Amino acid sequence: MRPEDILVPTPVGVCCRIGGFYIDPTQAVDKAVITHGHSDHARAGHRAVLATQETLDLMRLRYGENFAGSTQAISYGESVALGGTRVTFHPAGHVLGSAQIAVEANGLRIVASGDYKNVPDPTCVPFELVACDVFITEATFGLPVFRHGDADAEIVKLLHSLALFPERAHLVGAYSLGKAQRLIALIRNTGYDKPIYLHGAMEKITRYYASRGIALGRVELARDASKAELAGAVTLCPPSALKEVWSRRFPDPVTCFASGWMRVRARARQHLVELPLVISDHADWDGLTTTVAATGASHIWVTHGQEEALVHWSITRGLQAQPLDIVGYGDEDEADGVRENAEPGEAT
């Protein structure tokens, strides 16, 4: 059996015809297997959804109770039979509940990674390397220029700025699911115990993380704080809010943005970022290449990102590699979560 007999890219996403399902489909389908809760992978409207409990909960928070016709929760390491395949979920280390999906049939194993990172993150289960014949990898940061470095060192930069400018608010743009909660946890790991403030768009997801036992300390809504309380404090918000009317109530804000894209200075300037923080929830170039090699896969399929460079790197190592060119995947929307959860009086 060839890999293409098990999984095949289509305009809707990766399809398993013998199993009767799609992985992270970009349009509504009868049966969807979802890697994680970001909006470019987890969409509403499917007739049936298989995902981890955390991903299902996050989809319910974002899209409402009726986001799918039916749902089935699966745990890491658990396998289910779908048609002529066996499907197993493994940790991806991207965000809470994120998973790699291993699809096996006739002795062939294909692993669809979704989004992943292989560095420590206190808010989710670590990435698990899964040996396979075919590895479907993301390539969001699939260029050698992207080497993210030490996230803890970036947090030290933020706290140093707080100490230097205690009269200024520090507004940190961060994606609402995963990045914001990871930043809070990293800040807490330094011993910082002051309140951390949130844009209202981040409240539900952050409270959910806390309900799952993630230690985030004292987290409060920025709208309930006085201008004096916001001075010298950290406030997290969706990146788009940095440029909105909402940000004008903060005292002389230091504009920060936590993203792997902050490795590119032009990106920081484009976003008018004063303090770029290179912190990513995706694998960097070294993480991608190390993982591709370690899976032992002879076939590498590359999707959503800088596909050409990683395909070329794989081919020069004797691997069979190809881009999938699926439209609809990419880095999670910068406005992710703003409109769905914004509260009265908050600009979106």
Each residue of 90-107: pLDDT tens digit?
Answer: 999 999 999 999 999 999
* 107-108-112 Cα angle (round to 5): 140
* CA 137/CA 171 separation, integer angstroms: 33
What SS3 string covers the chain?
CCHHHCCEEECCEEEECCCCEEECCCCCCCEEECCCCCCCCCCCCCCEEEECHHHHHHHHHHHCCCCCCEEEECCCCCEEEECCEEEEEEECCCCCCCEEEEEEECCEEEEECCCCCCCCCCCCCCCCCCCCCEEEEEECCCCCCCCCCCHHHHHHHHHHHHHHCCCCCEEEECCCCCHHHHHHHHHHHCCCCCCEEECHHHHHHHHHHHHCCCCCCCEEEHHHCCHHHHCCCEEEECHHHHHCHHHHHCCCCEEEEECHHHHCHHHHHHCCCCEEECCCCCCCHHHHHHHHHHCCCCEEEEEEECHHHHHHHHHHCCCEEEECCCECECCCCCCCCHHHHCCCCCCC
What tens digit of pLDDT does each residue of 121-177 get? 999 999 999 999 999 999 999 999 999 999 999 999 999 999 999 999 999 999 999
Is residue 341 very low, low, confident or very high in pLDDT (cuts 50, 70, 90)?
very low
The pLDDT value recorded for residue 271 is: 81
Q: What pLDDT score was predicted for residue 330?
A: 61
pLDDT at residue 327, rounded to an integer = 66
- Model confidence over 195-242: pLDDT tens digits? 999 999 999 999 999 999 999 999 999 999 999 999 999 999 999 999
Q: What is the pTM of this model?
A: 0.93
Q: Which residues pair with 275 in a beta bridge?
A: 256
State how far the Cα of 148 lies from the Cα of 279, in Å rounded to an integer. 7
- How is residue 105 written in tokens? 């049939």
Q: Tens digit of pLDDT for each residue in 244-295?
A: 999 999 999 999 999 999 999 898 988 889 999 999 999 999 999 999 999 9
pLDDT higher than threshold 60 for residue 335 = no
Higher pLDDT, 259 or 330: 259
Q: Which tens digits make up the pLDDT trace of 18-71?
A: 999 999 999 999 999 999 999 999 999 999 999 999 999 999 999 999 999 999
Residue 347 has pLDDT above 60, yes or no: no
Judged against a pLDDT cut of 90, whether residue 306 lies above it is answered with no
Q: Is the pLDDT of residue 325 over 60?
A: yes
Tokens of 108: 């062939």
